Each structure stands twice: as C-alpha cells, then as structure tokens.
Amino acid sequence: MPKAVYPGTFDPVHKGHVDIATRAAGVFDELIVAVYQTPPTKSLTFTTEQRLELFTEAVTDVPNIRVVPFTGLAPTFARENGAEFILRGLRAGFDFELEFEMALMWRNIAPDIDVVCMMSSLEHQFVYSSRIKEVAQLGANIDNLVPSNVAAALHEKYGP
C-alpha cells in the first residue's frame, strides 16, 4: 500500500480530522499528517508546536500515522516525502467545490500526485475548526467535538 499526506492547519484538530486520519491509516502504509506552519490566509489560535502536539496526542494509538510540520505547497511536500497521494476530508456541500478546485491546481503543479477524498462521517459533517474556536470563545461546550486534549487546551485558552 502507498503513502499519503494529509495536509491542513488543524487549528485545532477536531474529531472529524481524527476520524479521517484514522480511517485513512487503514488504507495507506503510512499517513503523514502535515501541519501547515504558516498559512497565508489564516490567523492561528495555536502555535505550530501546539498543533503538532495536539494532533500527535489524538492519534497516538495509530502506529502508521506521523505528524510533522510543513511549509510551501502540499504536492511538493508529498513528493519530497515519497507520498503518491494527498488525502482530503469532505463534508457536505461547500467542501466539494473548494477541494475540487484545489485538487485541479495540485494536479497542475504535480501530475504524479493524486488527491484522494474521504467523506466525513455523518456525525462530523458540521464540524469546522473555525466554528469550534468561535463557540469555545463564547463559553459553549465543545467537548464532544474535539479530542479531550484539545478540549483541555481550548478551555485553558478561553476559559470554562
């Protein structure tokens, strides 16, 4: 089985991300979760080191997942790491258009790297990192949406 890269900012990692990574680990020999260090269009809540640690703790029981930082283009990173695939998770509706456009751009950049999309599980269709941060800041309970280590980090950052 081949190797795949699962790129994202993961700010913060949520149960939808963990679900996609865990399921993909059953398909690929190795899954590299690539935590984007400096996204040009996003304001980050957690540092790269914190995001790496939070994701690593969330998948610690899955031996063929490695969590690493990256910069630049995902296809370039995939090629440099010997991955033939880039993994993406899809939720209902809006995600498809964005991921489709990104996959076409990546194919233009690196025709030898394929994009594989996995559908999010039904219970994670509405889970977005930005929404989780928003409701956590407003004091809502997000414990069922994120791994327990992430819930603790968000509670520490924003309060109970």
pLDDT digits (tens, 9 = 90+) for 15-28: 999 999 999 999 99
Looking up tokens 């930005």 gives 130
3-class SS string, 63-86: CCEEEEEECCCHHHHHHHCCCCEE
Res 113: pLDDT: 96
Q: What is the second-level CATH architecture of the domain 3-158?
A: 3-Layer(aba) Sandwich (3.40)
Res 100: pLDDT: 87
What are the residue boundaries of the structural domains of the chain, listed by start? 3-158
Res 95: pLDDT: 76
User: How much of the chain exceeds pLDDT 70, in percent?
Assistant: 99
* 3-state secondary structure at position 44: coil
Confidence of residue 153 (pLDDT cuts 50, 70, 90): very high
Q: State the pTM of this model.
A: 0.93
Q: Does the pLDDT of residue 34 top 90, yes or no?
A: yes
The answer to whether 86 touches 110, Cβ cutoff 8 Å, is no
Res 57: pLDDT: 97
Res 126: pLDDT: 84
Q: Does the pLDDT of residue 1 top 70, yes or no?
A: no
Res 124: pLDDT: 84
